[in-house]
Amino acid sequence: MKNLRLVLLSVLFTLIGISLNAQVKISLDNKHSSQKISKHIYGHFSEHLGNCIYGGIWVGEDSPIPNINGIRSDVADALIEVGMPSLRWPGGCFADEYHWKDGIGPKSERPPMINTHWGMVSEDNSFGTHEFLELCELLDCEPIFAGNMGSGTVREMSEWVEYVNADIKSPMTLLREKNGHPDPWYVKYWNIGNESWGCGGNMSAEDYFNNMVRYSTFLRSYPDKSLYKIIVGPGGSDPGWTEKLLKLASENRKMNMFNAISMHYYTVPGGWAKKGSATDFSEKEWIVTIHKALGIEDEIEKNIEIFKKYSPRQKIDIAVDEWGCWHDQEPGSKNGFLYQQNTLRDAMVAALSLNIFNNHCDWIKMANIAQTINVLQAMILTNDEEIVKTPTYYVFKMYKLHQDAILIPTEFESPEYKFEGESVPAINISASKNEKGEVHFTLANFDPLNSHQIEIPVGDDLNFSYGEILTAENMNDFNDFGENEKVITKEFKKASVNKGTLLFEIPAKSILMLEVK
C-alpha cells in the first residue's frame, strides 16, 4: 500500500514536472579493502601526432614562448599540478614507424621523416629520447616507451633499452655518453609494439605472439633495472585477440615473457564513420556517449575472465594504455591532427572511466588517457602562447587523491537516468582511503536534470572535511581561449556527517569529490 502511494506520488510529481529524488544508499565494503589503486591509473599518453608534442609540449629553446630547455613552462606547470605519474611515448601508431636513433645527437644532424599516419607532415626529430626523458624528470613522472615492432628490428629495440638503462661500457652506452648523458636513466615500462593487429603491422595473433616472444627475449633487464613489459592487447571489443594470445602463451609456457597486456578503448559517440561534434550535441548524444563509455567495464571483465582461465596462478596486469573520447576534429583544424574541444560530457567520461579503473585496481595497474595535449580527449589545449585547461584536466586534478590509496569497494543500487529509449545508471562512484586515514569519494551524476540524495555510512569517527564540484550551466559548455573558464572546480560545502552517515545531494550533471577524515 505504502509502495503504491509512492508510485502514485511519483507519477503525479513527474506529470507536474517535479522530480522525486530517491535516497541512494551506498554501503562501503571495508572488509574487502586491501587493493592499492596504482597511481599509474592516472597516466597519460603523448604521441607525435598533430600538436601534441610540437607546439603542445615542445617549442624549442629559441621560442618566444617561455620554456625550460625547449619544454613549454606553462604546460609543465599545469601537468605538475595535475599530478601526472607516467607518460607513454612516442605513439600510438607512430611508435611502429619511429626509429629512435634518428632522434638523438646534435639536432642539426637528425634526419627528418614523414609522419605517414598523422597528416603526412615532416617530423624533424628535434624531440627525441633525451628531450622526452628530460620532460619526465621535470614532471617527476615515469616514462613508458612504446617500442617499434612493426617496422623496426629486434636489435633496434634491444639497443634502445641498452642506451637508456645500461651502465656497462658498450656501443650504446658510449654513444649516450657522446650525446652528453654519461649516466643511464631508468625506463622500466616498455610496450612491445602498438595495435599490432592494425596500424602496428596487421598481424594475426599467432604472428604477434611469435614476434613478441623474440623481442621480449632481447629486451634485457640490466642490474637493478628490471623491465615491465606490456604486450599488445585488444582494441575496442575483441576478446578473441586476448583469448588467442593467452592460449598461445599458456600452451607454450611463455607467460613469463610479459607483465601486462594492454587494452585500447575509445568512446566514439556516433561510431567511426560519423563520430559527431565535440561541442554541438543533443541530450540523446550525451546519454549515448555515457552508455558507450560505461561499456569499458564489460570489456575489462571479459578480459579478466580470459586471464583467469589461462593464468590461474600467475597474475597478469591490465594496462588500458589508450582510452578517451574520440569526436570529429574541430572544423578548420588540420586533417589527421585529431584536434577536438572538450566539454562537460568529456569530463563525465573521464570521471566514470577513472571510477571504473579504481574499482578494478586489482587487475588494472596502468591507464593512459589519449592524449595529453591538443589531441583527442586532451588535458590541455594550446594556441601559440595561449593555453586552456579542459574539463578533463579538472577531473584528473580532483581525482588525484586516489593515487596509491587503498580502494574501498562500494555497493549500491543506482537510480536510472533514461532518455529516448536509452538508459544508464545515473550515479557512478569510487572510494579510497589514504595512509593518513582520509577517505575520498568521487562521484558522477549523469542525469542532466535531476539531483540525487546520497547517504553513505562512514562510521562515527569521521567528519566531512572538504569537497569539490565540477559542473557547468550547459552539458556542452567548454573552456576556450581568451574567455573565462566555464567548467572549473569549485568548493562544495553542502555535505555533513550525521550519526555516522555522510549525507549530501549530488546536483544534476555534476562530478563531486568529497573527503571525510
Asked if 91 is part of the footprint of ligand AHR (rule: CB under 6 A), the reply reads: yes
Written as nine digits, the cell of 280 is: 554541438
134 is an active site residue: no
CA distance 303 to 92: 21
Asked if 194 is part of the footprint of ligand AHR (rule: CB under 6 A), the reply reads: yes
Asked if 373 is part of the footprint of ligand AHR (rule: CB under 6 A), the reply reads: no
Q: Looking at beta carbons only, is 279 or 340 nearer to ligand AHR? A: 340
Instruction: Report, in Å, the least distance between residue 514 CB and ligand AHR.
Output: 33
Written as nine digits, the cell of 418 is: 533514461
195 is an active site residue: yes
Asked if 477 is part of the footprint of ligand AHR (rule: CB under 6 A), the reply reads: no
CA distance 101 to 124: 13
Of the residues 50, 92, 201, 269, which one makes contact with ligand AHR according to CB under 6 A? 92
Region near ligand AHR per CB under 6 A, out of 9-17, 87-95, 217-225, 394-402:
87-95
**Residue 402 burial class via C-beta count within 10 angstroms: exposed 0-12, middle 13-18, buried 19 and up:** buried
Instruction: Report, in Å, the least distance between residue 195 CB and ligand AHR.
Output: 5
Asked if 93 is part of the footprint of ligand AHR (rule: CB under 6 A), the reply reads: yes
List the catalytic residue out of 47, 195, 243, 468: 195
Instruction: Report, in Å, the least distance between residue 115 CB and ligand AHR.
Output: 11
Of the residues 52, 370, 401, 516, which one makes contact with ligand AHR according to CB under 6 A? 370
CA distance 441 to 44: 22
Instruction: Report, in Å, the least distance between residue 266 CB and ligand AHR.
Output: 7
Specify the DSSP element, H or E, that contains 378. Answer: none
* Cβ-Cβ contacts under 8 Å for 218 (sequence gap 6 or more): 154, 155, 157, 158
Region near ligand AHR per CB under 6 A, out of 23-31, 71-79, 89-97, 208-216:
89-97
Q: Looking at beta carbons only, is 46 or 289 nearer to ligand AHR? A: 46
Region near ligand AHR per CB under 6 A, out of 5-13, 15-23, 348-356, 369-377:
369-377
On whether the CB atoms of residues 145 and 190 are closer than 8 A, the answer is yes
CA distance 334 to 49: 11
Instruction: Report, in Å, the least distance between residue 360 CB and ligand AHR.
Output: 22
Residues 105-164 that bind ligand AHR (CB under 6 A): none
Please list the residues that pair with 384 across neighbouring strands: none
Asked if 47 is part of the footprint of ligand AHR (rule: CB under 6 A), the reply reads: yes
Q: How far is CA 35 from CA 39, 184, 276, 311, 399, in A?
A: 12, 33, 38, 20, 17
Residues 293-322 that bind ligand AHR (CB under 6 A): 322
Q: How far is CA 315 from CA 131, 258, 309, 312, 318, in A?
A: 34, 11, 11, 8, 10
Q: Looking at beta carbons only, is 393 or 492 nearer to ligand AHR? A: 393
Written as nine digits, the cell of 421 is: 529509449
Using CB positions, name the residue nearest to ligand AHR: 92
Tell me, letter by letter, the H, E, C secondary structure of 116-159.
CCCCCEEECCCCCHHHHHHHHHHHCCEEEEEECCCCCCHHHHHH
Region near ligand AHR per CB under 6 A, out of 51-59, 370-378, 386-394, 421-429:
370-378
Asked if 328 is part of the footprint of ligand AHR (rule: CB under 6 A), the reply reads: no
Instruction: Report, in Å, the least distance between residue 327 CB and ligand AHR.
Output: 13
On whether the CB atoms of residues 124 and 74 are closer than 8 A, the answer is no
Asked if 238 is part of the footprint of ligand AHR (rule: CB under 6 A), the reply reads: no
DSSP state letter for 206: H
* Cβ-Cβ contacts under 8 Å for 172 (sequence gap 6 or more): 159, 162, 163, 166
Q: Looking at beta carbons only, is 70 or 269 nearer to ligand AHR? A: 269
| The pairing of beta strand 464-471 with beta strand 142-147 | unpaired
Asked if 346 is part of the footprint of ligand AHR (rule: CB under 6 A), the reply reads: no
Binding site for ligand AHR (CB under 6 A): 47, 91-93, 194-195, 322, 370-371, 376
Catalytic residues: 195, 322
